[in-house]
Amino acid sequence: MIKKASLLTALSVTAFSGWAQDSGSDNLVVTANRFQQPVNTVLAPTEVVTREDIDRWGARTLTDVMRRLPGVDVAENGGMGQTSYIYIRGAEARHTLVLIDGIPLAKSGITGIADFSQIPVSLIERIEMIRGPRSAVYGADAIGGVINIITQNDTPGGKVEAGIGSNHYQKYDATVRQKLGEDTLATVAGSFTDTRGYNIRPQSTYSVDSDRDGFRNKTFWAGLNHQFNQEISGFVRGYGYSNKTGYDAGYTDGGDERQVYNHTYETGLTYSGDVFSSQLTGSYQRYKDYNYAGPLGLYNEGTSLDDMTQRNLQWGNSLALGAGTVSAGIDWQQQKLTSADNDYSNKYKRNNTGYYLTTQQKLDTVTLEGSVRGDDNDQFGWNGTWQAAAGWEFVPDYRFTVSYGTGFQAPTLGQLYGQERLFILSNPDLSAEKSRQVEVGLEGLTGPVNWRLSAYQNKIKNLIDYYYDDDTFLGTYYNIQSATIKGVELTGSFDTGVVSHRITLGYLDPRRDSDNEVLAHRSRQQFKYQLDWTMFGLDMDAAWQYFGKSYDNNTNQFADTQRRMPSYSLVDLSASYPVTSNLTVRGKIANLFDKDYETVYGYHTAGREYTLSGSYTF
C-alpha cells in the first residue's frame, strides 16, 4: 500500500522549508508534537534511527542502539537480556517515556522503569528520540525525554536473515510484506534469538551462580493496512514476544530465571484531508513477568509473577492553521496489575485521562512552539503541564532557540499501595515527581558541518525514594528528595569525501539538592564519534564511545559512601558487503580492544564479541 501524502503534511513541510533541506520520509517525525513535521523544524533536540542504521551498526539489542545517541547513559546488569537502564540527560531511568508506535509501553515492576533489555530489536523499523521534557504532550514519565519505537513499514517486499556470533549467539529473522489488491498491505514477521551468554557475576560465592546467564527470544508480528478511499485508511496489528533470561540470584534457591510474555493488539482509523487529519487508535497490552529459581521450576515455591494489562484509547487531530499546525486530542489509559507469589497477592487498578493541545507556527524568521496538557488520574488527582519554545533564524542557516517545560512522573501502583510479597507498605499520600527545565541552544550549518550547542538545567522535586525499617522489616516509598541537573551538549555531523562523521560532546552535573551528591550511574563526560564510509562496495562503520567516571550508588541508610566507577572507552567496528543486489553479508566486532569495564558494580560485561550474518531481500 502506498499512502497518499496529504496536503496537511505538504503545508507543514512548506511552512518550515527554511530548516527542511531534505523533506523525504526519513526526515519527517511525529513524536515531537504529535503531528508530522520535518525533523529540522523541531525545536527540541531530536534523533532519528532507521532500520538501515540498525543493520549498519550491527546492533543486537536496543541498548546497543541507544548507547550511540547523544545524552544517553546505559547501565546493564550484565549481557544480553539482563536488566538495563537508560538515563537521558541525567534524569532518572524512570523519567524516560517509552512508546511503541506512539502508545506507552506497559511497565509491570514497582520501580516504574521500562525494561529495554526485553524489547526485541527485530521489531524495530525506526526510532525517534526527543531529549528534554515532553509531559505537556504525552503526560507522565516524559521528564528526561521520549523514545518512540516504530514497528510499521509500508514498503512491500521481504527479508530473510540468519546470524551467528560469540557466546553461541544465533539469530533467525524473516519478514514478508505483500500487497493484497491495490489497497491492502499484509505483513507477517517472526524472529528467534538465542545466546548461551556468560557468567555475569563470577565473583559470587554461591555455586548456583557459577553457570552461564543466557537469553532466548521468540517474536511474532502480523498486521493489515487498508486504504478505504483517498482520505480514510485503517490498520489492525498484533505482536508478541516471549523471553527467557538467566541471571544470578546471590543466594541458594533464589530466583535466577526470568520468563517474560508480551502480547499487544492495536487497531486504528485515520482520516487525512486537505488541511485536517484525525486518528483514532485503540490498544491492549498483556505483560506477564515471572521470576523463579531454575532448580525448582516455574510453578513451584519461590516463583513470583507481575501480571499487567494496559488498555489505551487515543484520539488525535491536526489542523494546518496559519503558517503551521495545531494538534489536539485525548488519551485514555487503564492499568491493571496483579503482583503475587506463593504467599501473597496484590491487585491494583487505575485510570488516567489526558487532554492535550500543541502548536507550532512560523512567523517570518521566528518559529514558536507551545503545548499544554492536563491529566486526570483517579489515584493521585490532576496534573497540569506546559511547555513553550521559540527559535529565531537570525541569519540564514543559523538559529537560536530557547525553551521552558514542566514534567511529572506518576508513582507506580506498587509504590502507592504497597506490595506484600516485597514487604512494602502502602503510602496513598505519595505525590507525583515534578520537574522544570530551561534550555538554550544555538545551531547552524557552517561550511560542511551541521552542528547544535545546547545548555540546560532541570530541577526535579518530590523525588521518590525508599526507606526500610530495621525494626519492622517493612519498607515504604516517600517523597523525600530533590535534584538539580545541569548540562552542556554539542553535536555535529559532516562529510569529508566518502566518509560521514558524527560527533557528540557532553558534560553533565547531576546533583542531589540535600547534600550536593552526584547522582548515580551518570557519566560526567561523554564523547562519541562515529564514522561511516563506503568504498569498493564495502559499507563500513566505526564507533568510539567514551564515558567518564560515575558512581554506582547514592548514600542512603544502606550505604555510607559512594562507590566510584572508572571511566571506559569502547570501539565497535562493523562492515557489510552486497554479494548480489539481494544478498548482503554483515560482520561486527564489538568492544574491539576487549575493554574490561562495568556499568553496574559486580556485573561483568561481555568483552570482545563477534557476529556474522547474511540477509536476503526480495
Q: Residues annotated in the binding site for cyanocob(III)alamin, as ranges? A: 110-111, 249, 304
Residue that the C-alpha cell 534524569 belongs to: 91
Cα separation values, 11 from 5, 44, 232, 324, Å: 11, 21, 19, 8
**Binding site for Ca(2+): residue ranges?**
199, 211, 213, 247-248, 256
Check if the beta carbon of residue 417 is closer than 8 Å to that of residue 477: no
Are 371 and 136 in contact by the 8 Å Cβ rule? The answer is yes
Strand order in the sheet with 145-150: 46-50, 126-131, 145-150, 96-100, 103-104
Residue stretches of the annotated binding site: 110-111, 199, 211, 213, 247-249, 256, 304
Mark residue 343 as left, alpha or beta (left: phi above 0; alpha: psi -120 to 50; beta: remaining): alpha
* Three-state SS annotation for 31-63: CCCCCCEEHHHCCCCEEEEEHHHHHHHCCCCHH
CA torsion 441-447-449-450 (nearest 10°) is 50
Task: Determine whether 194 is exposed, middle or buried from the number of CB atoms within 10 Å of its CB (0-12, 13-18, 19+).
Answer: middle
Nearest in space to 59 (alpha carbons), one of 590, 615, 600: 590
- Nearest-angstrom CA–CA distance, 523 and 510: 9
Closest Cα partner for 110 from 464, 356, 497? 464
Cell of 212: 552461564
Output the DSSP codes for 264-326.
EEEEEEEEE-SSEEEEEEEEEEEEEEEEE-TTT-TTSTT-EEEEEEEEEEEEEEEEEETTEEE
Element (H, E) at 9: helix 7-15
CB 155 within 8 A of CB 2: no
Whether the CB-CB separation of 122 and 34 falls below 8 Å is answered with no
Separation CA 144–CA 400 (nearest Å): 22
Burial class (CB in 10 A: 0-12, 13-18, 19+), 211: middle
DSSP letters of 108-153?
-STT----GGGS-GGG-SEEEEEES--HHHH-TTTTSEEEEEE---
Q: Which residue has the cell 525533523?
A: 39
DSSP state of 162: E
Distances (CA, A) of 552 to 520, 525, 526, 547: 5, 16, 17, 14
Three-state SS for 422?
helix
Q: Are 400 and 442 in contact (CB under 8 A)?
A: yes
Query: What is the rounded CA–CA span in Å between residue 135 and residue 373?
Result: 8
